Amino acid sequence: MSERAKEIEKSAEEIVESFVKDAEKLPELKETYYSQETYNITRPDGEPSPEAERLSFRRKFISNMPGSDDKGNLKVEVAKWSKER
Partner 1 sequence: MVQRTLEKLAAIKRGEISAADSVAAALELIEKKDKKINSFIELNQNARADAESLDRKIKGGKKVGRLAGLVIGIKSNINVAGLRATCASRTLENYTSTYDADVVKRVRAEDGIIVGMNNMDEFACGSSGETSAFGPTDNPAAFGHITGGSSSGGAAAVAANFCDICLGTDTGGSIRNPASHCGVVGFKPTYGLVPRQGLIDLGMSLDQIGPLSRDVAGAALMLETIAGKTGNECVMLDVGKVNYSEKLESKGLNGMKVGISPKFSELTDPAVMDVIDSQVEKLQDLGAEVVDVELPNLEHGLSAYYLIVSVEFFSGTRKFDGRKYGKRIEEACGEEVLRRILRGRYISQKEYRGKFYQRALQVRTLIRKELMSALKQVDVIVGPTVPKLPHKLGAKLSLMEMYAYDYLTIPANLAGICAGVIRAGEVNGVPVGLQIQGKALGELDALQVMRSLEAIE
Q: How many CB atoms lie within 10 A of CB 67?
A: 9
Q: 26, 83, 84, 85: which one contacts partner 1 (CB under 8 A)?
A: 26
Q: Which residues contact 66 (CB under 8 A, 6 or more apart)?
A: 76
Nearest approach in angstroms of CB 38 to partner 1 is: 6
Q: Which residues contact 69 (CB under 8 A, 6 or more apart)?
A: 75
SS3 of 53, please? helix
Nearest approach in angstroms of CB 72 to partner 1 is: 13
Residues found near partner 1 in the complex (CB under 8 A)? 4-5, 8-9, 11-13, 15-16, 18-20, 22-23, 26-36, 38-44, 46, 57, 60-61, 63-66, 74, 76, 79, 81
